[in-house]
Structure 1
């Protein structure tokens, strides 16, 4: 599942994943929708933007992990300050993708997370 308030970012991530073994089963443009969708469609992995309207990625991360601890969440952010990274990891984030990103970095990060899902 891809969560980002920027339509272009969601489109770029979707096109990177489409050519690989990943199925994008849902998209959301803010944290509130992401929490509801995660409960309903039960994705294995969520790419979750940190800065979004209504509910930011860190709030959504906490709520999703509380309801579905088995869901792996990769934070996507242009703001990789140490406090944000530490807070996300303490709350259960499995990895980080820093914007601007390239396809190789996205796929490498997701492969590491997907390997945990398969165990």
Structure 2
């Protein structure tokens, strides 16, 4: 699947990080359909505009990313989900992957690691 055919939603409480991630993805040809600062607002965006891939921060205000993950994966049009966190303990990474996440990216995020995780989640390569 080429980047032009992949739609992505970014859910992270850090506005600067959402903007930077969006810029990196757009430069590579991906379509960023939206971003949201919380799980609740992210779910609303997803329901209005289903996407192929969600970049989901673990630490969010209100509902956290690990609570939102099973909700997204239970959708009939379930996206691939890459978890994002600055606290990448082995337990968190294992927990996210065993809960169905397609990948895990550690903050601070480098463009190369982000793009590799997105490519792997979409294509499995």
TM-score if structure 2 supplies the norm length?
A: 0.87
- Quick check: 2:72–2:78 contact (8 Å CA) kept in 1? no
Superposition RMSD in Å? 1.3
Once the two structures are overlaid, the 10-residue window that deviates more, 54-63 or 34-43, is 34-43
Shift of 1:103: 0.7
- Does the 8 Å contact 2:25/2:32 carry over to 1? yes
In structure 2, the residue matched to 1:33 is: 41
Say whether 1:95 aligns with 2:103. Answer: yes
- Matched with 1:108 is 116
Task: Please point out which of 74, 77, 94 is paired with 2:85.
Answer: 77
Structure 1: 4+ residue segments shifted above 3 A: none
Report the Cα distance in structure 2 between the residues aligned to 1:19 and 1:59, rounded to whole angstroms.
31
8 Å Cα contact 1:51/1:77 also seen in 2: yes
8 Å CA contact 2:58, 2:64 repeated in 1: yes
Gaps in structure 1 of 5+ consecutive residues: none
Distance (Å, rounded) in 2 between the aligned partners of 1:35 and 1:83: 25
Query: Equivalent residue for 1:19?
Result: 27
TM-score by length of 1: 0.91
Unaligned runs of 5+ in 2: 1-8
More moved, 25-34 vs 60-69: 60-69
Structure 1 residue 89 displacement after superposition: 1.2
Deviates more, 1:83-92 or 1:40-49: 83-92
The size of the alignment, in residue pairs, is 116
How has the CA–CA distance of structure 1 residues 102 and 31 changed in structure 2, closer, same or farther, with 3 Å as cutoff?
A: same
